Amino acid sequence: MTGIRVTILSGAGSTPRDAGTQMFVHAHGIQGTIGGGALEWEAMRCARQMLADGTKRSERKIALGPALGQCCGGAVSLLFEQADGMITEQGTPLWIWGAGHVGRALINTLHPLPDFQITWVDTDPARFPDMIPDGVTQLIAAEPARAMTHAPQEADHLIATYSHEIDFALCHGALLHGFASCGVIGSETKWARFTSRLRKLGHCDAQISSIRCPIGLPNLGKHPQAIAVGVASRLLNGRMHKNLADGTTREGMA
């Protein structure tokens, strides 16, 4: 699909989004956002004018206050170029295990974020929704624990399957394989039983404690979407702290 890709080249002062943020304008609509409001409407107007004129590339610097009446007070430089879509960023690998209510809520909350490259795993294609969001890789694995060996060792994992035995096997597999962070849905009772069983398999307490249970933020409640919001908050905060620490190990996640 041919359209105009709009990229923020640079920003000065207070701006809605950072350099590198993209939006794609095509004949039937838009994808992505460079911050909404008057800036985005002006970018859409320019892009559609380019589509009408056949212009392939242009740049424009916009002062948000004087030009658009926005109170941000900053300025942005925009690149407009003919393209077939946005440039896909390679985010942190995130494996979500389970396509039930919590798994679907996690996908709906996390897949729009450019921070993650998501793989979604379950045992049966019938467990997935009819439409898998763009950018999410569907993986059907009759034995999910065996699929764990195919995950990058720098991946984050969220375990929320329909089976406690599958959850346990995934925790065991994750500890053997390695991960950036790992969380499993469950109660204190479930995790106490898992901890005891994992010890018997030879995992020490320091290793076991690297898995977080429960996931999310307990004060937000147990609704699947509330769990997903809490998970997203922890993941994004972990990435922020990792970036601020300039490459040190990220904080414990969801």
137-140 and 116-122 beta bridge pairing? parallel
Predicted TM-score of the model (pTM): 0.70
> For helices 188-200 and 164-177, what crossing angle results, to 10°?
50
Q: Give the contacts of 74 (CB within 8 A, at least 6 positions apart).
A: 11, 12, 13, 14, 15, 64
Give me the pLDDT at residue 70, please: 55
CA distances from 196 to 90, 154, 202 (A): 37, 26, 10
Give me the pLDDT at residue 65, please: 65
Q: Give the contacts of 175 (CB within 8 A, at least 6 positions apart).
A: 198, 203, 207, 208, 210, 211
Q: What is the dihedral of CA 243, 88, 100, 196, to 10 degrees?
A: -40
Q: Backbone phi, then psi, for 23, in 5-degree steps?
A: -145, 145
Q: Give CA–CA dist 184/66, Å, rounded.
A: 50
Q: What is the pLDDT of residues 78-104, one digit of tens each?
A: 999 999 988 766 688 999 999 999 999
Q: What is the pLDDT of residues 165-201, one digit of tens each?
A: 999 999 999 999 999 999 999 999 999 999 999 999 9
Q: Give CA–CA dist 79/59, Å, rounded.
A: 5
DSSP 53: H
- With contact defined as beta carbons under 8 Å apart, do 156 and 92 qualify? yes
CA distances from 74 to 5, 16, 64, 166 (A): 22, 9, 6, 51
Query: 93 has which bridge partners?
Result: 117
- With contact defined as beta carbons under 8 Å apart, do 133 and 103 qualify? no
Give me the pLDDT at residue 107, please: 97
> For helices 224-244 and 101-110, what crossing angle results, to 10°?
40
Which parts of the chain have pLDDT scores under 50? 67, 240-254
Q: Give CA–CA dist 243/249, Å, rounded.
A: 10
